[in-house]
Amino acid sequence: MKENGVKTHYNLSVGRSRDIWKFAYYTTCMWVIFVLVLAILSGFVLGGLVGAPWVPTRSHDLAEIFAALDLQPDQTFYDLGCGDGRAVVTAAQAHAKAIGIEINPVMWLIATLRTLRYSNAKIRLGNLWQYPVRDADAVLVFQMPRVMEQIEAKLAGELKPGTKVVSYAFPMPQRQALHRAKSWSLYQY
């Protein structure tokens, strides 16, 4: 091949090799993206299957809930299925020891990042059924009705007398509430 009067050689195998590497690179990138999206979605599905899908607690409800809980600085607060950690942050701002438990890795990461500036807040990645809450002075539960009876049994078996429990959206099936608001109920164990 002549170009501008100069004989040039073009190695077709180098061009094909480069194309193969590009194809491999882009294919690998697509698989990595696919796996990441699948992992993110599976976290949300897992959360929905084990307890409840993520639905945020409304800010005005949080203010009412924490007024009813009347958390003191030396008390321990648990949020079973803490989602994005907004209730854990509210408890930490009240100077209580605040612990959130979340099964969804994406929501766990968001909650962990949200609570980094609070030394009295901790977010645990895992299933709420695997974590004891014996030291709790207050507990927030926002789960689906199908697991509320199991939650009630777990709390009855683990909580010390006098512990306050708020059930958001769905009431405890067997226990009598001390106070009922529009979207939450307060119980004492």
- The CATH number of whichever domain residue 157 belongs to comes to 3.40.50.150
Which range of residues forms the domain containing residue 73? Answer: 59-188
Nearest CA among 189, 127, 129, 128 for reference residue 159: 189
| 88 in any annotated domain | yes
Q: Which of 93, 103, 101 is nearest to 69 (CA)?
A: 93
Looking at the structure of the chain, the number of domains it has is: 1
Q: Does residue 91 lie within any of the structural domains?
A: yes
Whole-structure pTM over 0.95, yes or no? no
The answer to whether residue 141 is domain-embedded is: yes
| pLDDT tens over the chain, length 189 residues | 555 655 555 555 555 667 777 777 777 877 777 676 666 656 555 555 555 666 778 888 999 999 999 999 999 999 999 999 999 999 999 999 999 999 988 899 999 999 999 999 999 999 999 999 999 999 999 998 989 999 999 999 999 999 999 999 999 999 999 999 999 999 999
Domain for residue 3, yes or no? no
- 53 lies in some domain: no
